[in-house]
Amino acid sequence: MTSLFDEITAAAPDDKVPVRRVTISVNGQKRTADIEPRLLLAHLLRQGLKLTGTHTGCDTTNCGACTVLVDGQPVKSCTMLAVQADGHEVTTVEGLGTASELDPVQEGFTKEHGLQCGFCTPGMMLASKALLAENPSPTEDDVRFALSGNLCRCTGYQNIVKAVLWAAAKQRGEQPS
């Protein structure tokens, strides 16, 4: 069975749609791929680079599960063509931390139980990462506002907000409460 990625990267049936070579820095590593222009960034990450931490949920720019950072800014990767990331830096959840050294945001989500099923979590964490880079001391309202493009169907958001506030305190060098 061919995966979506194989199907979409297979050479076009005629010369009208050339495959393009792109070089994208993904989690600090330069990755090169020959892709069809219609390949979405989310699909390049998941099927092409096997970075399946980026989830695709609604596929219609609503849910934010596919959120990644492009040059540090949060982007819904199901709504960006992979060719548009050529020459840019992409950070996925795999680039946040390692199992032995979690990012404060990841640590916050564990400490505060910021997830149940976990589907929205990668997108939530990357949107949070972008928020904390811009505003190291967000209020609860700031967190809710910044995450308003990311949907969670389990938690009711309470613990997600707590997790981000925990991470903010940790990043500021304070003892998270």
Binding site for another protein (CB under 8 A): 4, 8, 12, 16-18, 20, 36-40, 43, 59-62, 64, 67, 73-76, 78-81, 83-84, 127, 145-150
Instruction: For residues 131 and 137, give the distance between their C-alpha atoms in angstroms, rounded to a whole number.
Output: 10
The residues near 127 (Cβ < 8 Å, ≥ 6 apart) are 64, 67, 74, 146, 147, 149, 150
CB of 112 to another protein, least distance (A): 21
- Least distance between another protein and beta carbon 9 (Å): 11
Smaller CB distance to another protein: residue 9 or 176? 9
Task: Kindly tell me which of 79 and 116 has the beta carbon lying closer to another protein.
Answer: 79
Residue 43 or 162 with smaller CB distance to another protein:
43
Question: CB of 17: closest distance to another protein in angstroms?
Answer: 5
What is the rounded CA–CA span in Å between residue 26 and residue 29? 5
Tell the smallest beta-carbon distance from residue 38 to another protein (Å): 5
Q: Using the minimum distance from each CB to another protein, give the nearer residue, 109 or 157.
A: 157
Q: What is the largest CA-CA distance in the chain?
A: 61
Reported as type and span, the H/E element at residue 162 is: helix 158-171
* 8-state DSSP, 81: B
